[in-house]
Structure 1
Amino acid sequence: MRLMRRRSTVLLSVLGALALLFGAAPASMGAQPAGPPAHHPVIFVHGYNADPGVWGGMIADFKAAGYTDDELFSWGYDTHQSVNEVLAGRFTDYVNSVLSRTGASKVDLVAHSFGSLTTRWYVKFRGGTATVDHWVSLGGPNHGTYTSWACVIWDQACRDMSPGSYVQNQLASGDETPGAVKYATFWSECDEVINPDSSVALSGAVNTDAGCLQHNDLLGDDGVSQGVRDFLAG
């Protein structure tokens, strides 16, 4: 009887070892580590006298194309403040918070109008060449717009958007599209805000004629939305 108990103990030990070898091990092998996210987080930056709500249609398009809520962000800010002295610093903090929250190493930026200046300043002067993969400007006053002269007397943002301003001259100095960031602009020949139309395009960027669209229609146009997503996928 003692011998039989010993044999039973040995048999149970062998069976346990086999279970660990052929049962538990394959289960652990099947639990693959999570892969990298499908997309970089995208930060949408609105323009002058606007708010993050203007991105509702485009964000819906991004979600329909497979982006998740955790990959889409909209930065809201006071558009009457200085690009270089105030807004670029606050945007830097926002980008850092998105990187920390998502665990991503880089973000994509999509800016409309005045938002193009703040995001460009971040990329060029505040380390954004290391944290931005794609940068997109929709109707940005990238070389200034004469329309801004209507409000330069009382509004700092209008002064920043004026041709020949300190912000414009600094952004245009040297390389307009620095670093390994991929740059794109979308401009319209019927834009009533950006004057001249050629202000939007940047040397070194993929510059796309969006057709005859008014300034705010760039935000909701299906062709522009698809073009932005195609560019970010490249």
Structure 2
Amino acid sequence: MQRNATTQHPILLVHGLFGFASIGKLELFHGVKQALRNAGTQVFIPYLSATHCNEVRGEQLLAQIDLVLTRTGASKVNLIGHSQGALAARYAAAKAPQNVASVTSVSGPNHGSELADCLRKALTPGHLPEQVAVAVSTLFVEFLSFISGSPKIPQNAVAALNALTTEGVGAFNAKYPQGLPSTWGGNGEEQVNGVRYYSWSGTLQGSLLDEGLHTLDPLHGFCRGFSRFFTRETEQNDGMVGRFSSHLGTVLRSDYPMDHLDAINQTAGLVRKDIDPIELFVRHAERLKSVGL
């Protein structure tokens, strides 16, 4: 049966760290854009710096929101940000609430990432390990830009890492607290300055042996490995972001059985039987439609 998720305002899918719109037939939000369009939604994917701080990426997003509003004649947009994309979306909504109808965080590090904390400690500023990491990440980003045909825009791997640590996001939150919970693990205000805030995320569950074919997914293997660096949210994380760190606004659910990249359907073709990431996006578009957004 044909779904009806014709939102009043266009949806922008905002990518996170090392993100891109598409490389050939590979889309970062794999299958999500097409599913939303099939359900009647206008969808755009803005291109932001693959590595940079939240404020720089947020300013880039604001400029592209203006382009979408001009192109479509819409008065506002709905922002759905994955990972660091959630922070760029929050920045845009805080700076220009008149242009944003809603912000939805999907596995966003809204209170920082313990993985980023560990990387920051391991990479001593100005020393060889950090310099090597910066060089490698820069080459990787340049390669992504080349094969995806994306425009060249500023990149800064160190700024990106600092922006994702608990300390870095804490400083960001002090300036842009809209939608944040007042208590750890709770819900935030659903509506601030006319902008509605939502979030959802997942956690790694069981052991690798419980995953079936998902065990063969290399991306899932990386997330399982990264999860060992979490101490505050041990066994309550998706490999890159802690469950309660992801909370923003109305928390739809924060323990879906999925890792950080499952959330955007990046599963190397090995989709779990008990979760459909695309369905979560379509269902949310229907939710936004139901409240007039």
TM-score normalised according to structure 1 size: 0.74
Are residue 192 (structure 1) and residue 239 (structure 2) matched?
yes
1:199 maps to amino acid? S
Q: Which residue of 1 aligns with 2:99?
A: 131
**Separation in 1 of the partners of 2:263 and 2:247?**
15
Q: CA deviation at 1:66?
A: 1.9
1:142 maps to amino acid? N
Q: Structure 1's 111 and 175: CA in aligned 2 closer, same or farther, altered over 3 A? A: closer
Q: Could you tell me which of 22, 28, 38 is aligned with 1:54?
A: 28
Secondary structure, aligned partner of 1:76: coil
Contact 2:200–2:252, Cα closer than 8 Å, also in 1? yes
**Separation in 1 of the partners of 2:110 and 2:252?**
12
Contact 1:42–1:110, Cα closer than 8 Å, also in 2? yes
Taking every aligned residue pair, what percent have the same amino acid on both sides? 23
**Separation in 1 of the partners of 2:161 and 2:90?**
16
Contact 1:189–1:197, Cα closer than 8 Å, also in 2? yes
Give the alignment of 1:83-122 within 5 angstroms.
83-84=54-55, 86-122=56-92
**Separation in 1 of the partners of 2:165 and 2:244?**
14
Q: Which residue of 2 aligns with 1:215?
A: 260
- RMSD between superposed Cα atoms in Å: 2.0
**Separation in 2 of the partners of 1:38 and 1:184?**
16
Secondary structure, aligned partner of 2:70: helix
Q: Which residue of 2 aligns with 1:76?
A: 47
Consecutive aligned runs of 4 or more in structure 1 exceeding 4 Å deviation? none
Between stretches 137-146 and 204-213, larger displacement belongs to: 204-213
Are residue 232 (structure 1) and residue 278 (structure 2) matched?
no
2:160 maps to amino acid? A
Contact 1:75–1:94, Cα closer than 8 Å, also in 2? yes
Contact 2:117–2:166, Cα closer than 8 Å, also in 1? no
Higher percent of residues as helix: 1
TM-score normalised according to structure 2 size: 0.60
Contact 1:111–1:137, Cα closer than 8 Å, also in 2? yes
Contact 1:161–1:168, Cα closer than 8 Å, also in 2? no
1:192 maps to amino acid? G
Q: Which residue of 2 aligns with 1:3?
A: none
Q: Which residue of 2 aligns with 1:164?
A: 167
**Separation in 1 of the partners of 2:194 and 2:16?**
25
Contact 2:16–2:83, Cα closer than 8 Å, also in 1? yes
Q: Structure 1's 209 and 197: CA in aligned 2 closer, same or farther, altered over 3 A? A: closer
Are residue 64 (structure 1) and residue 38 (structure 2) matched?
yes
Contact 2:7–2:289, Cα closer than 8 Å, also in 1? no
Q: CA deviation at 1:108?
A: 0.7
**Separation in 1 of the partners of 2:50 and 2:173?**
16
Give the alignment of 1:29-48 within 5 angstroms.
39-48=8-17
**Separation in 1 of the partners of 2:254 and 2:54?**
26
Q: Structure 1's 97 and 222: CA in aligned 2 closer, same or farther, altered over 3 A? A: closer
Gaps of 5+ in 1: 1-36
Q: CA offsets, 1:54-75, max 9 Å, x none?
A: 12411111122123xxx21101
Q: CA offsets, 1:145-202, max 9 Å, x none?
A: 1111244345211211111222243334x763531211110111221110x3100112
**Separation in 2 of the partners of 1:98 and 1:79?**
20
Q: Structure 1's 197 and 210: CA in aligned 2 closer, same or farther, altered over 3 A? A: closer
Gaps of 5+ in 2: 1-5, 22-26, 124-129, 131-157, 181-188, 205-237, 266-276
Q: CA deviation at 1:210?
A: 5.1
Contact 2:7–2:286, Cα closer than 8 Å, also in 1? no
Q: Which residue of 2 aligns with 1:201?
A: 247
Structure showing greater radius of gyration is: 1
